């Protein structure tokens, strides 16, 4: 599996479904966590250059809060849950009402960061377990890591493994957001499978041939 830049429509549909299942489960977890209705968008599957990966999130300079983990096992890859700083602070405030803690800078509040880390763990964990159940592939997540920094710096980590093989990445991007409020939490899940994992994922879901 070397050339994944020309995915067929069926293959893209399968990857979209993977994003759907994962984010759907995560949206349910988030709804329970916040006791609010959560919507999700139809996932998009894109084959993009590394620079374009950053542009998906608003450019390499953009400050983001991201929970990230590596998937080990049969189908290695990387999962990110990404929020803007305002959304992350909003999310923390929803979980811990009254906490006005900053996430950035010298005045960063440890409690707020810890709450965000925990929310991220829950959401990415449910994303991954749905994925693993759906594909019957054994996926072992690393410990989740939280980082609040520039998008370029954070996202490069997920591209390293892949960058030894290719100059492009497949990104399965799903947005979830609060239904009612204008200014609610809106998060992006990014699943970046390692190139070698694609065959595994396709096989697991019944696509055996590349056409």
Q: Determine, following the binding rule CB under 8 A, whether residue 165 of this chain makes contact with other proteins.
A: yes
- How many residues bind other proteins (CB under 8 A)? The answer is 32
Instruction: Name the pairing type of β-strands 168-178 and 38-40.
Output: antiparallel
The C-alpha angle 79, 160, 198, rounded to 5 degrees, equals 55
Decide if residue 149 touches other proteins (CB under 8 A). yes
Q: How many CB atoms lie within 10 A of CB 189?
A: 23
| DSSP one-letter code for 35 | T
Using the contact rule CB under 8 A, the part of the chain among 27-35, 118-126, 149-157, 202-210 near other proteins is 149-157
- Binding residue (CB under 8 A) for other proteins from 34, 56, 157, 204: 157
> Residue 130 or 154: which CB sits closer to other proteins?
154
Of the candidates 153, 140, 193, 197, the one whose C-alpha atom is nearest the C-alpha of residue 60 is 153
Among 28-36, 132-140, 153-161, 170-178, which window interacts with other proteins (CB under 8 A)? 153-161
Task: Work out which of 30, 154, 170, 190 binds other proteins, going by CB under 8 A.
Answer: 154
104 lies in the site for other proteins, by CB under 8 A? yes
150 lines the binding site for other proteins (CB under 8 A): yes
Task: Indicate the residue among 15 and 148 with the shorter CB distance to other proteins.
Answer: 148
Closer to other proteins at the Cβ: 105 or 206?
Answer: 105
Nearer to other proteins, 75 or 176 (CB): 75
Burial of 9 (0-12, 13-18, 19+ CB in 10 A): exposed
169: tokens are 């990445």
Cβ-count burial of 71 within 10 angstroms (0-12 exposed, 13-18 middle, 19+ buried)?
buried
Q: Beta strands of 5-144 (E only): which ranges?
A: 38-40, 44-49, 63-73, 77-84, 139-141
> Shortest approach of other proteins to residue 52 CB, angstroms?
9
Binding site for other proteins (CB under 8 A): 2, 50-51, 54, 59-61, 63, 68, 104-105, 142-143, 145, 147-157, 160-161, 163-167
């Amino acid at each position: 599996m070397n050339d994944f830049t020309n995915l067929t429509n069926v293959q893209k549909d399968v990857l979209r479904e993977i994003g759907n299942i994962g984010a759907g489960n995560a949206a349910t977890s988030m709804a329970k966590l916040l006791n609010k209705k959560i919507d999700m968008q139809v996932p998009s599957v894109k084959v993009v250059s590394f620079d374009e990966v950053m542009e998906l999130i608003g450019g390499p300079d953009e400050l983001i809060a991201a929970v990230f983990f590596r998937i080990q096992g049969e189908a290695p890859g990387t999962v990110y849950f990404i929020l803007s700083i305002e959304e992350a602070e909003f999310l923390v405030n929803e979980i811990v009402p009254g906490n006005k803690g900053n996430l950035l800078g010298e005045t960063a509040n440890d409690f707020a960061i810890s709450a965000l880390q925990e929310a991220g763990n829950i959401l990415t964990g449910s994303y991954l377990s749905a994925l693993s159940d759906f594909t019957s592939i054994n996926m072992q997540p690393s410990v989740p890591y939280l980082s609040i920094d520039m998008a370029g710096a954070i996202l490069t980590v997920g591209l390293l493994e892949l960058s030894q093989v290719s100059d492009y990445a497949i990104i399965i991007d799903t947005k979830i957001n609060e239904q009612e409020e204008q200014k609610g939490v809106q998060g992006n899940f990014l699943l970046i499978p390692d190139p070698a994992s694609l065959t595994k994922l396709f096989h697991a879901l019944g696509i055996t041939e590349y056409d």
